[in-house]
Amino acid sequence: MDLNQLRAELRQEHKDILSYWARYAPDPVNGGFYGRVNYQNQPDPNADKGIVLTSRILWTFSAALRHTQHDEYHSIADRAFQYLQKHFTDPQYGGVYWSVDSTGQPRQTLKHLYGQAFTLYGLSEYAHATGSASALSAAKEIFKHMLNHAYDAQKGGFREAQSRDWSPATDYIISKYDNHEIKTMNTHLHILEAFTNLYRVWPHKTVADQMRHMLRMFQEHIVDPKTYRMKLFMDNDWRVRRTAISYGHDIEASWLLPEAADVLANSNQDDKSLQKQIHDLAIKMARAASDGLDADGGMNYELEPNGHLNRERSWWVMAEAMVGFMNAYQLTHEKQFLEKSVNSWGYIKKYLLDTKNGEWYSGVTADHQVLGNDKISMWKCPYHNSRACLEMLDRIEHIR
């Protein structure tokens, strides 16, 4: 595909994604955004609202505002910021709840680090886009709570979740508490992503130190040095408790890790060596993740521990494949990676875009049958696909 055509298609897709969310996500009765909207664009007004959805909407429209300077995105970003501050922020203990009910009352008050990370990510982007001092202050508070209450200074990394008052939790959401899955790849990946975004607006030494620490955790504990795939669930001592091959997370990490290393190296020459290490690691991770691709250009979801290949092609996996392989092309100049990236967009266009009702389906089967029924949910958010468009547009400019 001609890069000019690719750029034009992705620019239009980014506009279409944001147009969909601006039209169908806002809850005009209870405020904020609906917790669930189906494939027919019908909302469930009684659905709970999650911090992951709200903070990702905050990031999406803030990033769109910053990149395009189109003021139409400002009002949705403001709406997300105000709702997050009013309904998700814990006024007694700090941090944010995992979910609230449809009217904004606390539902699940667990202080999950995944949710704290995405809140930090969204607040940082809003501060970057608008110059909001209150958003930056709120982001700093989240960062402080994460370090004070969940950071493991002895073993490294962060514990998966804390109770509302930041005492040890006995219930997790992403991992299994009973199986001692105290530390997870997924949560650590998005903590690193959040710290990187915070550093862009608040280049404090403590943030940089934590970014270096997190990169070291990936090097030493999370990325398998033999396979260059990530270990998924670990105990407090980083011993693997449960794992699989998550192709989508592997390709996503293959560009998020060097993003963090690049941000550090751009502000500190002493981090150039770390940057080189992470770039080399990222290339190997992208090569390993390529095993998840099928002949039709779709990326399979997961190779389960029992050897079963889950051939679902998820919307977020395909979005991350597009960016991850483009990043690998930029690092290596190998055309096979550029082809994989362009083919990922081709697959998305052909099978995941809902040309009738808008946005993307949550996934399709290996024979391209549509899965699910949620355009909007606790997890189905505009972050992966809108971010992929922005990342691709920026990267295309740099390789022209």
- Specify the residue for token string 């592997």: 250
Please give the pLDDT value at position 126: 98
Give the span between the Cα atoms of 119 and 82, in whole angstroms: 13
Residues with Cβ within 8 Å of residue 274, at least 6 apart in sequence: 212, 215, 261, 264, 265
Nearest to 211 by CA among 162, 178, 259: 259
pLDDT of residue 132: 98
Q: Please answer whether residues 210 and 188 qualify as being in contact, where contact means their C-beta atoms are separated by less than 8 angstroms.
A: no
Is 112 exposed, middle or buried, given 0-12, 13-18 or 19+ CB atoms closer than 10 A?
buried
Nearest residue to 290 (alpha-carbon basis) of 244, 324, 264: 324
Using a 10 angstrom Cβ sphere, with 0-12 exposed, 13-18 middle and 19 or more buried, the burial of residue 15 is middle
Distance separating alpha carbons of residues 310 and 15, to the nearest angstrom: 32
Architecture of domain 3-399: Alpha/alpha barrel (1.50)
| pLDDT for position 15 | 98
CA–centroid distance for 166 within its chain: 24
CA distance 363 to 89: 32
- Would you kindly state where each structural domain of the chain is located, as residue ranges? 3-399
Per-residue pLDDT of the chain (400 residues; tens, 9 = 90+): 799 999 999 999 999 999 999 999 999 999 999 999 999 999 999 999 999 999 999 999 999 999 998 999 999 999 999 999 999 999 999 999 999 999 999 999 999 999 999 999 999 999 999 999 999 999 999 999 999 999 999 999 999 999 999 999 998 999 999 999 999 999 999 999 999 999 999 999 999 999 999 999 999 999 999 999 999 999 999 999 999 999 999 999 999 999 999 999 999 999 999 999 999 999 999 999 999 999 999 999 999 999 999 999 999 999 999 999 999 999 999 999 999 999 999 999 999 999 999 999 999 999 999 999 999 999 999 999 999 999 999 999 988 6
**What pTM was estimated for this model as a whole?**
0.97
Strands of the sheet with 302-303, listed across from one edge: 245-246, 302-303, 309-310
